[in-house]
Amino acid sequence: MKKIIVFGLLLVIACGGNRLDLARTALLLGNYSEADHALRGVKESDRNRADFHELAALLEVAVNNIPAAEAEAAAAAKLEPRNKSLQLNLAELDVHFGNKKLVDAAKKSLEDLSADPAYRRDALRQLAVAALRDGDFAHAEALSQKLQLEKPLALEDQLLNLTILKKGMSTNFDQALVSLEKQVGDNPQQVNALSGWLVGQSMTAEALQWLLGLPAKMRQEQAVVVALSDCYAARQNWPDITSLLADLKWGDSDFLRLALLSRALREQKDDLAAQANWQKAVTLASGRRQPLCALLRLANAWGWDKEKEAVAWTVVERYPSEHWALQLLDRFYTANDNTRGLQKVYATLMKNDASDVMAKNNFAAVSLLLGLRLPEAHVIAKEIYDRFPQDAIIVSTYAYSLHVQGRTQEGLQLLAKLPEDKLHLPAVATYYGVLLAAAGQPDKAKPYLDIARASKLLPEEKALVTAAQPASPSPK
């Protein structure tokens, strides 16, 4: 699949303003591609700053590139060695993801930080989690007990304590659970959180028994009803969910009740009623950003592809700033080999941001593959090539555009100027091999087509590769 990540010069065109502030805001909103855009646009002279490396580390964690995150966090801590917040960030990464030498150093750093009241809670938590991961349950429990002395005591730390006690098969577990159940019993949100923890620990029966034993008034609270619904869902008890939700009214949150009811009905094969309730939920949510996003996340979690696609496009059309919805559609269409869907995504990205070169390149590429909107695709491919003639993937898009126009030799001349390592990139090798085969050079095309076959391709790209050079027969 032709996906580009444009480096260097290309990102100078990003929107103005303080790029570190842009990156920080994008990270908070979960817009990782925009955060990457902003950070890559920071001038070299401004990159030797702790806040730059700290944001870069957060971005790498968000995209699960832990080694890179460790390197960025280390750079930040080195620039400001007295900044304990940066030390904590680095230690948190190293203690969970580093090698033994780094882990030992990180633990020592966390132990030192635990002596500082401002960092004590975070340091103790990370040490307890590390001990739990290492199977040192006695040490984890001892650290957790220290954490329980911190005031105010956070629910997340109490749930961590329960996790440690349960995994370590501690005799203190039952007492701790009963105590926490009593403590949170008059707080609907905390009841929901503890119930969710119990379900996650395969203790659904215990969660259900506790919830049903709460006062009737508390069982009518929305968060508690949702917790009950989750318990019934974990046990595949869909009729009880239907009975639980059918006659309630949740005001502005009624879209959530209808969505949960829709799922229960669908699981019972009552498809018409399920669809009716889902549509009511979408209608109620349609005028508000957060409810629509909540429905989209539910549909995604439940694997409801049709509903997910429809709601995602509603979010995109009504709230263009919700870039994550387009990213979700991009992943969805890529996973399902839906090139037409991808074309719609990239067209929308171009519409929302005329300076988005990545979207332009991808739009041109898939349009050429589909044979749709060809005049526009040819113009775009030429435009971005003229601006970035050294970017290998942009070159390959324009070369294929020339090939589609019957100018294969011109396309090959452009590709032949690229360094050999760039020609072996799957997104480049695919088109270089196709053009070489079309030019009557099958032997030269073969190694590049082999690279393409071993890569993730769109259906149209697979067809091009197959037509260029059929796969070699299997040895008998």
Task: Answer yes or no: do 311 and 354 share one domain.
Answer: no
**pLDDT by residue (tens digit) across 433-461?**
999 999 999 999 999 999 999 999 999 99
Which residue from 402, 413, 468 is spatially nearest to 438, judged by alpha carbons?
Answer: 468
162 is a domain residue: yes
**123 φ, ψ to 5°?**
-65, -45
C-alpha separations of 124 from 83, 130, 406 in Å: 18, 10, 66
pLDDT-derived band at 17, boundaries 50, 70, 90: very low
**pLDDT by residue (tens digit) across 259-281?**
999 999 999 999 999 999 999 99
230 is a domain residue: yes
CB-count burial class (<10 Å; 0-12, 13-18, 19+) for 142: middle
Q: What is the pLDDT of residue 104?
A: 81
Token pair for 80: 């400001």
Task: Answer yes or no: do 343 and 467 share one domain.
Answer: yes
Choose the weakest-confidence range: 23-37, 80-94, 212-226, 409-423. 23-37
Higher per-residue pLDDT: 170 or 287: 170
**pLDDT by residue (tens digit) across 27-84?**
655 556 667 767 877 777 778 888 888 888 877 777 677 788 778 888 888 888 888 8
Q: Which helix (DSSP H) or strand (DSSP E) does residue 316 occupy?
A: helix 305-318
Task: Answer yes or no: do 464 and 366 share one domain.
Answer: yes
Q: Which of 168, 194, 213 is the last residue of a domain?
A: 168
Domain, as residue range, for 203: 186-235
73 is a domain residue: no
Task: Answer yes or no: do 321 and 281 share one domain.
Answer: yes
Whole-model pTM over 0.85: no
Name the percent of the chain lying above pLDDT 90: 65
Q: What is the pLDDT of residue 34?
A: 66
Q: What is the pLDDT of residue 19?
A: 66
276 is a domain residue: yes
359 is a domain residue: yes
**pLDDT by residue (tens digit) across 76-110?**
888 888 888 777 777 767 776 666 777 788 888 88
Domain containing residue 264: CATH number:
1.25.40
Alpha-carbon span 402 to 444, nearest angstrom: 20
Task: Answer yes or no: do 287 and 307 share one domain.
Answer: yes
Name the percent of the chain lying above pLDDT 70: 90
Task: Answer yes or no: do 321 and 358 share one domain.
Answer: no
19 is a domain residue: no
Q: What is the pLDDT of residue 474?
A: 46
Output the furthest CA–CA distance in the chain (Å, rounded).
80
48 is a domain residue: no
Cβ neighbours around 9 below 10 Å, total: 11
